[in-house]
Chain A
Amino acid sequence: EPEVTQTPSHQVTQMGQEVILRCVPISNHLYFYWYRQILGQKVEFLVSFYNNEISEKSEIFDDQFSVERPDGSNFTLKIRSTKLEDSAMYFCAVLQGGNSGNTIYFGEGSWLTVV
């Protein structure tokens, strides 16, 4: 199972501020993803990223969100102007190939609290 490190583990930010969440996959992967989970709810897909560009995105991933992989290692999610409803756990995930097919593995998450 690949190791996916996320930072920060927890961040508290004022409404309207910009936030950057980071993900460092240990191994090379083709696809990277961001998901979010509002407290007590299901995990929701935000965006997939392949070959340094967005492949798919959900309705949640609006203009306030952006992703990039600036240095070929870190994979970041930027929220430009945070709102109260952005408070959630954000998970980075990677696609790893294996003998039985491709599998998606999740990081431990970054808990974002917007006040």
Chain B
Amino acid sequence: GENVEQHPSTLSVQEGDSAVIKCTYSDSASNYFPWYKQELGKGPQLIIDIRSNVGEKKDQRIAVTLNKTAKHFSLHITETQPEDSAVYFCAARAGGGADGLTFGKGTHLIIQP
């Protein structure tokens, strides 16, 4: 089955700096890669996703890149703000709607004021 590795487990950056979180996946059939933000005691909130027919996607301060050959994808947050502090999870899925997402172990992003 799919295995998703996520690094780093904790990332501390100064407010206003950029943050990058990286994930690798094992199943070359995976075609959907969402990123979720989870605040304490809440459910995962989708922040951006990318599909295998696209190499990069951007939404304001957030961007995701995908390298299918190397089987890795990354989340980039620019101009970080205190409200960006949370746990971020990457995930991957092969197949269609029936298949579950395989999540990484999460990155605790800390924005230092």
Contacts and interface: CB of A to CB of B under 8 A. Distances in A.
Task: Tell me the dominant secondary structure on chain A's binding face.
Answer: strand
Interface stretch (A12-20, A44-52, A62-70, A75-83): A44-52
Contacts, number: 62
Interface stretch (B14-22, B65-73, B78-86, B97-105): B97-105
Given A30-B97, A50-B97, A95-B97, A105 B46 contact: yes
Nearest to B42: A108
29 contacts: A1-B46, A30-B97, A31-B97, A41-B105, A42-B104, A44-B103, A48-B99, A48-B100, A50-B97, A50-B98, A55-B98, A91-B43, A91-B44, A95-B97, A101-B51, A103-B34, A103-B46, A104-B34, A104-B46, A104-B101, A106-B36, A106-B44, A106-B45, A106-B46, A107-B43, A108-B42, A108-B43, A109-B42, A111-B41
Contacts of B99: 48, 56
Interface of A: 1, 30-31, 33, 35, 41-48, 50, 55-56, 58, 91, 95, 100-109, 111
Interface residues of B, number: 23
Given A55-B97, A106-B45, 8 more contacts: A43-B44, A43-B103, A95-B97, A101-B32, A103-B49, A105-B46, A107-B43, A108-B43
